[in-house]
Amino acid sequence: MKHLLPLRYIDVIARSGSIRKAADSLAITSTALNRRILAMEEELGVPIFERLPRGVRLSAAGEILIHHVRNQLSDMERVKSQISDLTGERRGHVSIACSQALLPFFLPNQIAQYRHAHPAVTFEVLVRDRAAAEQALVDMSADLALVFEPLRLMDFQVLQRVRQPVHALMRPNHPLAQAGTLRLRDCLRYPVALPTSQYGVRHLLELAVQRSSLTLQPVVESDSFEFLRSHALEEDILAFQIPIGLPIGTEGSGMVSRPLDVRDVPPGVLYFGQLRGRILPVAVSRFATQVLETLTHRFETD
């Protein structure tokens, strides 16, 4: 829609932090884009962006304006999606902010399943853990969020809560591989690899050791769960993950997964939700319904 182009220009510049980078993605010259922004700033009577030595950032007025801009763009996407539904051809775009655990298996499966039925719908997946996931909903860079142990829920409308016990991952020949449920003290007798402190799994483990005389002394730390999972197989040490981040039939992957005793580490909670009060576009709403059904079928929900 041509009348929304100025709003899209502002949104893209705000996200990229650079007029030059925004111009490249919008396929126009940076000079032309800058002229359009200057014209809008003159019309408003205030600068929308602060010009910095390297890039730009929203001014105080721009911070106010960007919420209106993103609401308008979101509303138009919702209307276009509804119109497409009338013709029987569902189109639209779905943006999801999620914890790392959703990346390897769960979301690829869900997106592939949805696009098999609706190939005209496009997707964007953003890695946003804990506090960052809710912020992605607020600034409308994401329509939906799937986040493990979020820090706050002020603007988060919860669609589903899913209990996720922490599992230890190991080689099939590890001394603990034959156990059913593991005590944390037994795990910590062996070398462990842990995620860094900003992640929910690490948070739950730290809470557990605070209630005991145990200590966490990882030999490897990383902000990548994929690395931790792979390294556990390479060095024969223990890593930790939640069930939604594991393939179905883990044993067939050369890896053994065993839950930690809930007396030591209570299950965490995976939250699925959207921005409070927002009316979702049709494609997003239908995808959310599919995810809800899968979560309810596969996991223990609140």
Q: First vs last Cα of the chain: how many Å apart?
A: 42
- The domain tally of the chain equals 3
Using 50, 70 and 90 to split pLDDT, how confident is the model at 254? Answer: confident
Lowest mean pLDDT among 2-6, 40-44, 235-239: 2-6
- Region label for 208, one of left (φ > 0), alpha (ψ between -120 and 50) or beta (otherwise): alpha
If asked whether residues 85 and 106 sit together in one domain, one would say no
pTM of the model: 0.72
**pLDDT at position 198, please?**
84
For 95, the token pair is 């943006």
**pLDDT at position 255, please?**
86
If asked whether residues 231 and 108 sit together in one domain, one would say no
Q: Residue 214: which of 188, 181, 241 has the closest Cα? A: 188
Residue ending a domain, choose from 66, 89, 112: 89
Other C-beta atoms closer than 10 Å to the C-beta of 172 total 11
Residues 48-78: b if buried by 16+ CB within 10 A, e if exposed: bbeeeeebbebbeebeebbeebbebbbebbb
If asked whether residues 51 and 182 sit together in one domain, one would say no
Q: Print the domain residue range for 240.
A: 166-265
Instruction: Report pLDDT digits (tens) over 218-231.
Output: 999 999 999 999 99
The H or E element spanning position 161 is strand 156-164
How far lies 289's CA from each of 69, 159, 200, 282, in Å?
27, 9, 25, 11
Radius of gyration of the chain (CA): 23
If asked whether residues 173 and 243 sit together in one domain, one would say yes
Domain at 157, CATH number: 3.40.190.10
If asked whether residues 158 and 278 sit together in one domain, one would say yes
